[in-house]
Amino acid sequence: MRSKFNVVTSTILASVFIARFGTFLVLPYLTLFLLEDFRYTGIQIGTIISTLALSRLIVSFFIGPYIDKYPKNKVILIGLLAYFGSYVYFPFIDQYTGFIVFAAILGFGQAVVEPTYRVLLSFYTEPENRKFIFNIRYFLINISAAIAPLTSVFFQQFGTDLLFFTVGFIFLINIFTFTILFKKYPIEKVPEKSGKVSIFQSFYVFRKDYGFTIFIVALIFISFGYSQFDSTFSQFLGITFDYELALKYFAWLITTNAITVLVIQYFVYRLGEVISTTTCLIIGSLCLSLGLFLFGQSESIVLLIFSMVIFTAGEVLVFTMVDVHIDEICEDHEKGTYFALSGVSSLGKIAGPSLGGFLLDSFGAGAMVFIVISVITVLSVPFFYLSNKVLNNKTHKTLEKH
């Protein structure tokens, strides 16, 4: 019998917290590192960030069926090793191609670990408790986001090399934790369809589930908008303010983001009990787009913080409900495939930093950059609506057959 919390679920949630804490120590500041230490252009930095997303995208297309087919304890360890290797490798990089390799390895690790975490959380939690567990997962992610940025600023006093080695050590702890856990508590095998694993299984999902395909298109636009925070927006701060002030403001804004999540998380959970998942997604998309629009309207830190609060409200509404929605529309033996294919939304993360860098190089740090970005992001709204309509029609037809 699955329970709300058990050893495996609790360990996964703790692992999510530790892993994201390590990630938030580094990735939000990556563009500032590259801008300050290597003087790369907006397009060059955008290409590095986009490579991370491209790697995740490519792996997402084929990893799902393998997550469903093979022992998930081994799948997670492979992904965590990729995380560990990428961060330990970073301090030794002195060429542009090295950063591309770093981004590719890190993207692979993300594509493997993230869907596997969610599959296990779903499998070891009763259906009526999954919305709660996925909310706890997102809550823990944002606690890490609240404390990691200022911790990162402290570590940066001693140099970026120490920071990256520290993150590598954090992932090493995760690797040992899961190794011990799965020896003591072997993972139960989920009933699966017979046959060989094929990369084409993922493409078949897109063919058979048109509503899910449209949903992924909506997520691509959301990912496009959300990716601007760690790439275009951080560069905007670096161009607008001197390096130390930009670093301080960015830390404040990341902390604002995390605190806002912690404050409104419960209300979002309660809202999700009252209105539909799709309505939450649409409202969240509108807030996310509005926040992006406001980012470019003023250099005032007060307005930037206000914009971040709106942006964050949209973030919570969207990303809390995405996992719940995907979990609701697929069978147990397909969860790895569906959760992995949600990584196809990385198309937005590929286009986002590159287009954002191009806009910065073309228009400078002005309002037009974020006007264009917000208009593209809000295109997610009609696709969320259409996806819901298609999925509802599919459900009605299924019920009529029975």
Amino acid at 191: P
Q: For residue 258, what are the contacts with CB-CB under 8 A and spacing of at least 6?
A: 142, 143, 145, 146, 147, 149
Q: Identify the pLDDT of residue 198.
A: 60
Q: Based on C-alpha coordinates, what's the Rg of the chain?
A: 20
Q: Which stretches in the chain have pLDDT values below 70? A: 1-5, 187-200, 394-402
CA 259, 161, 346, 351 dihedral sign is positive
Other Cβ atoms closer than 10 A to 184: 7
Residue 315 CA to residue 283 CA, distance in Å, equals 10
Per DSSP (E only), the strands in 201-309 are: none
- DSSP state for residue 381 in the 8-state scheme: H
> Which residues 6+ apart lie within 8 Å of 99 measured at CB?
34, 48, 93
Q: Are 150 and 253 in contact (CB under 8 A)?
A: no
Supply the pLDDT for residue 373. Answer: 93
DSSP secondary structure string for all residues of 165-182: HHHHHHHHHHHHHHHHHH
CB 377 within 8 A of CB 288: yes
Measured from the Cβ of residue 218, the count of other Cβ atoms closer than 10 Å reads 27
A 10 A CB-CB count for 303 gives: 13
| Token pair belonging to 328 | 């609701």
Q: Which SS3 state, helix, strand or coil, does residue 95 take?
A: coil
Are 249 and 71 contacting, i.e. CB atoms less than 8 angstroms apart?
A: no
- Check residue 394 and give its pLDDT: 67
160 residue type, one letter: T
Residues 6+ apart with CB under 8 A from 83: 19, 22, 106, 109, 110, 113, 171, 174
Which pLDDT belongs to residue 2? 46
At residue 1, the pLDDT reads 41
pLDDT of residue 187: 67
Give the Cα separation of 143 and 141 in Å (integer): 6
Three state DSSP letters for 103-131: HHHHHHHHHHHHHHHHHHHHHCCCHHHHH
pLDDT digits (tens, 9 = 90+) for 279-289: 999 999 999 99
Q: Are 166 and 25 in contact (CB under 8 A)?
A: yes
Alpha-carbon gap, residue 51 to 124, rounded angstroms: 33
